[in-house]
Homo-oligomer: A and B are copies of this chain.
């Protein structure tokens, strides 16, 4: 029994409810548990009603992805208050890892799952702002370290440095998420692994300071 002519804000609210239901499902049980029918059941609609708000399941996940990507960046941006550039970089890594490990399904969806190539044409001006883009945030933090001349002199490309640091932390976190429960490897504690990764990379990238 459909009441009619929903306002724009009403439609937005329904979109949110769909997204929230979808998020709940995969945060709890992973992406394979996210079915259109279960989402629909949770919000009290029929399964096909979702298609009035999202083109298909892929689009829904895509939007979830983007939304939470921005939320992550926003969360991380609190470290911008830290003055010392190097400590700021270290804390960014720790925060990033903390997010990854406390939201493994999120992290999987964001950084461990191939999706059809994203088109960032809309709202492109918002894309590369530190507050809204985790990578750009990292890049800026690395730049700060770069301008004070703390990196070894042969390292002339902050972008490459940023990508390497990201890869290091990502490697530790993603291995933990995928294989952390496997017993054929005698895992050291995740804290030890993160710490060593950070200190080794810093040690290897920064100028010798003696």
Chain A residues packing against B (C-beta within 8 Å): 30, 108, 111-114, 117-118, 120, 127-128, 133, 135, 155, 157, 159-161, 163-164, 166-172, 174-175, 177-179, 181-188, 192-193, 196-197, 199-205, 208
Contacts and interface: CB of A to CB of B under 8 A. Distances in A.
Contacts of A161: 196
A193 B167 contact: yes
B170 A186 contact: no
A117 B182 contact: yes
B204 A117 contact: no
Number of copies of chain A assembled together: 2
B163 A193 contact: yes
17 contacts: A30-B114, A117-B181, A117-B183, A160-B196, A163-B188, A163-B193, A166-B171, A166-B175, A167-B168, A167-B175, A171-B172, A200-B205, A201-B201, A201-B204, A202-B204, A203-B203, A204-B205
Count chain B CB atoms within 10 A of each CB in A166, A187, A199, A200 and give the residue with the most.
A200
Contacts of A181: 117
A196 to B, nearest CB: 5
B200 A157 contact: no
B182 A171 contact: no
B114 A183 contact: no
Contact of A120 (B183, B196, B208): B183
Given A112-B178, A120-B183, A200-B201, A167 B163 contact: no
A69 to B, nearest CB: 10
A155 B112 CA distance: 30
A170 B166 CA distance: 12
Count chain B CB atoms within 10 A of each CB in A161, A174, A181, A182 and give the residue with the most.
A174
